[in-house]
A and B are shown apart, each in its own frame.
Chain A
Amino acid sequence: MTDTAPALRARGAEPDEAAAVDESAGRGGLWVDGWAQLRRRPLFWIASTLILVLLVMALWPSLFTSVDPRVADLALSGADPSPDAVLGRDLQGRDIYARAIHGAAPTLTVGLLASLGTVLVGAMAGLVAGYRGSWVDGLVSRVGEVFAGLPFILGGIVILTTFNQPGRIVGEVRIVTQVVLTIVVLSWPLAMRIMRAAALEISQQDYVKAARALGAGPLRIVGRHILPNTLAPVLVFATIQFGVFIGAEAALSFLGIGLRDPVVSWGVMISEAQERVADIPQALFFPAAFLVVAVLAFVMLGDAVRDAFDPRGR
């Protein structure tokens, strides 16, 4: 099995990086190199600009529109795009553009925080399980399986109706936090399994064994060797999940337990619009377009970051 000759895969074998790995002085080398490379990628700048625009939209929606997204003129239900409402109006006669702008903040908050939370919790658990192995691996994996066995909707209904009495008004920050936590609690096992698989693979590599033999502590091994090598699958997962979680949030709203009036998100707009898509296509099309652009921006950013920092991809 010459193809797996592991010593050759160690980064130390690459002459230009040898110094960074072998010298303790080069602790930041990987990250500095990565940043230098990142700056040269146009992909990175395009993605960053898009994300910046989305963030500005989320923080200061009034820069983009002065229309109140809650005002509904039922008589204008389903109106086509016009100077009055540039993207048209939805079934309730609300301005789709204003709603999409005001929907940026909750959407991005839920998408980003849920992805981040899932990856953090899942990655942490996966790293520990994959690196320590033995009974720790068994325990973490089994707990993950118990959670993975829960139907998402059951978990969502119970968590969200337990903490909020149904039929009562719930504050905006509170409901967003709860939705994020619900998603994280019910989705971390997949991230855990991906991270665990990667950690399992890498911790058996000879360069990790070598580092251990040289007296490197577990923190150093995880931080210097395992974490950078698991970056790729985790980034792919996180950027895709960003889109998935926005969908999950919409499903919770659809069931009447997620984000609610007056909070609006793109997912909620899409799920509200689907029933009448034949009559009012703009109500589905425009929020979906916002969502595609946002997911695209994060996937591109993820790609650029991975190319820059993943030691294996260089």
Chain B
Amino acid sequence: MGRYTARRLLQLVPVFLGTTFLVYFLVWGISDDPFAGKCGQRACSPAYIAEMTERYNLDDPLVVQYLKYLGALLTGDFGQTFSGTEVSTLIADAYPITIKLALVAVAIEAVIGIAAGVLTGLRGRGFVDNLVLVSTLVLIALPVFVTGLVLRQVLGVELGWIRPSVPGDPTIGQLLVPGLVLGALSMAYIARLTRTSLMENRRADFVRTAVAKGLTRRRVVGVHMLRNSLIPVVTFLGYDVGALMGGAILTEGVFNIRGIGGLVFRGIQQQDIATVVGIVALLVIVFLLANLVVDLLYAVLDPRIRYD
């Protein structure tokens, strides 16, 4: 396991380089005129363009630009946005909020999703099963911004239970509703995944064996069935943690959460390479570590899987 972990950590390097270069290339490739629209309705003056081109090395070939950027990044210099703000400051302010929101969302989707999945998976077809099915379908069919807008309007404006916007340094309580909105889709997916997985394992032979051995129902379900059924769920949860850490553009927008998603979106729209690549560089590392943890969790959950 130790060697496996070391090898995976080493593999982080090519993925990191690959992703940052690809994203650098993509942002660079959005448009061949990064200064269009930077000066409002007017065209920018040649002096402005010359100065900015110089400042962001835009005259260099792409690879040279990237290497210069990477060099600075490795010394901890994330660069500046076009508005002169340090990207590192932006990330340091925004990232804690995004992490909090992601954790709240994952906690909500795991708890409610698995609970709903277990409930329906053990009971089998019936009223509860259909209720969960229909409510998950509604969650899937309604886009995030619709659920978000409705909840903000009803809970925030009409009932006054929550603030329509989330302040700069939110408590977990203030993130509950946004977390629910953000996690709704995955929650639906986890419920269905758990249910399917449980239904499958319900008649598996190891369960029959366990029952035959005279184990209590609680022990059969808890130890044998659940543990085996949660493998795909854990895979998905791990993936989702990584994905949610990448920020949630729509949810953040609806509740005015000053997180990473909005920064990346703004960066993409303004073709601000430093912001986008800086954030993605950080995200990739988080995402990869989340994946690694999931892979290691398999081995814990399922003794049949061994890494050597």
Residues in A lying within 8 Å of B, measured CB to CB = 1-6, 8-9, 13, 138, 142, 145-146, 148-151, 153-155, 157-158, 161-162, 190, 193-194, 197-198, 200-201, 204-205, 232-233, 236-237, 240, 243-244, 247, 250-251, 267, 270-271, 274, 277-278, 284, 288, 291-292, 295-296, 299, 306, 310, 312-314
The number of A-B residue pairs with CB atoms under 8 Å apart is: 171
B210, A3: Cβ atoms under 8 Å?
Answer: yes
**Could you say which residues of chain A place their CB within 8 Å of the CB of B149?**
274, 277
**Could you say which residues of chain A place their CB within 8 Å of the CB of B100?**
none
Q: Does B141 lie at the interface of the complex (its beta carbon under 8 Å from any beta carbon of A)?
A: yes
**Known pairs A3-B224, A233-B193 / 9 extra A-B pairs, C-beta < 8 Å:** A5-B205, A142-B15, A142-B18, A149-B283, A150-B19, A151-B280, A247-B144, A270-B143, A292-B141
Leading 9 A-B pairs by shortest Cβ distance:
A8-B205, A243-B140, A149-B19, A3-B206, A292-B141, A146-B18, A291-B141, A149-B284, A158-B26
- What 1/0 mask marks residues of chain B from 108 to 138 whose CB sits below 8 Å from any chain A CB? 0000000000000000000000000110011
**Could you say which residues of chain B place their CB within 8 Å of the CB of A162?**
29
CA distance A201 to B19 in the complex (A): 29
CA distance A200 to B243 in the complex (A): 22
A267, B143: Cβ atoms under 8 Å?
Answer: yes
CB distance from B145 to the nearest CB of A (A): 6
A142, B11: Cβ atoms under 8 Å?
Answer: yes
Residues in B lying within 8 Å of A, measured CB to CB = 11, 14-15, 18-19, 22-23, 26-27, 29-31, 133-134, 137-138, 140-146, 149-150, 153, 185, 188-189, 192-193, 196-197, 199-201, 203-207, 209-210, 213, 223-224, 231-232, 235-236, 239, 242-243, 246, 249-250, 264-265, 268, 276, 280, 283-284, 287-288, 291, 298, 302-306
B268, A154: Cβ atoms under 8 Å?
Answer: yes
**Could you say which residues of chain B place their CB within 8 Å of the CB of A150?**
19, 22-23, 26, 280
Given the interface contacts A233-B193, A267-B143, does A6 sit within 8 Å of B304 by beta carbon? yes
**Could you say which residues of chain A place their CB within 8 Å of the CB of B302?**
201
CB distance from B229 to the nearest CB of A (A): 11
Nearest B-chain residue to A278, judged by Cβ: B153
> Pick the contact of B305 from A9, A13, A201 — CB < 8 Å?
A201
CA distance A284 to B31 in the complex (A): 34
